[in-house]
Amino acid sequence: MILISEIFGPTVQGEGALIGVPTVFVRTGGCDFRCSWCDTLYAVEPQFKSQWQAMTAGQIMQRVNELSGGVPLLVTLSGGNPALQPLAPLLELGHAQGYRFALETQGSRAQAWFAELDYLTLSPKPPSSGMRFSADRLRECIAAAGADTQLQLKLVVADEVDYQWAREVAREFAHLPLCLQPCNLQAATPQQPELEADLVQLNSQYRWLVERVAADRWFAARVLPQLHVLVWNNERGV
């Protein structure tokens, strides 16, 4: 059984190399991390467990098909940490129906079935998250994915310390396509400010990151905002 927090869409992927691509999101429940600025605590913290549902691969694909009208598209596996779930049967069933799968994980747990994914986004967490980065664990994930899964490194940057960390990680994994993303700090703010104030903050974080990258002539980095946060703020299920 696979622990599911929510299934929603179709919408578009709001970040990373697949930004703008139509997709249905399958969000799993449970995470081995607890990042200080996590924007999906409802898929992480045990207090939300009662909202998660144990589903079979067949039940998940049935829901995905209902949402997509039976038209195969990209399924985005997110979390929590979806790498904690037994997803091999879902990939097999979905592929047989013509769907493609992209999974995003922090790279703390490698799975043999990573090799069955179409896309794997590895998003190790920076110092501002409060979590510890393991390059060895990330290497295990890359090795598990093999040659046929398209890999991407996505690094979230909240401040200068994160930026310097991102420089080091990118140097170490220079063979991977790289996306940098400003950190969505607003999501962790207990009392949400107004949308307009959020956007001003997000825009200034994005501008800072672009200027920082440009000043360093770091031309291998693609710098992207979170499209869905710009459009829908931190609203859930879009």
b (16+ CB within 10 A) / e for 200-225: ebbeebbeebbebbeeeebeebbbbb
Which CB, 35 or 166, lies closer to ligand SF4? 35
Which CB, 33 or 208, lies closer to ligand SF4? 33
Q: How far is the CB of 31 from ligand SF4 (least distance, A)?
A: 3
- C-alpha distances (whole Å) from 18 to each of 60, 198, 233 are 22, 24, 19
As a whole number of angstroms, the distance between CA 182 and CA 208 comes to: 9
Q: Rg of the Cα trace of the chain?
A: 17
Among 5, 23, 106, 184, contact with ligand SF4 (rule: CB under 6 A): 106
Q: Which stretch binds ligand SF4 (CB under 6 A): 32-40, 66-74, 163-171, 185-193?
A: 32-40
Site for ligand SF4 in 81-100 (CB under 6 A): 81
Which CB, 61 or 225, lies closer to ligand SF4? 225
Which CB, 79 or 94, lies closer to ligand SF4? 79
- Contact flag: residue 44 with ligand SF4 (CB under 6 A): yes
Among 7, 17, 18, 38, contact with ligand SF4 (rule: CB under 6 A): 38
Closest by CA to 158, choosing from 127, 183, 179, 181, is 183
Phi, psi of 27 (to 5 degrees): -100, 120
As a whole number of angstroms, the distance between CA 33 and CA 211 comes to: 30
Among 14, 80, 107, 182, contact with ligand SF4 (rule: CB under 6 A): 80
- Contact flag: residue 76 with ligand SF4 (CB under 6 A): no
Q: How far is the CB of 214 from ligand SF4 (least distance, A)?
A: 27
Which CB, 68 or 152, lies closer to ligand SF4? 152
| Structure token pair of residue 133 | 């980065």
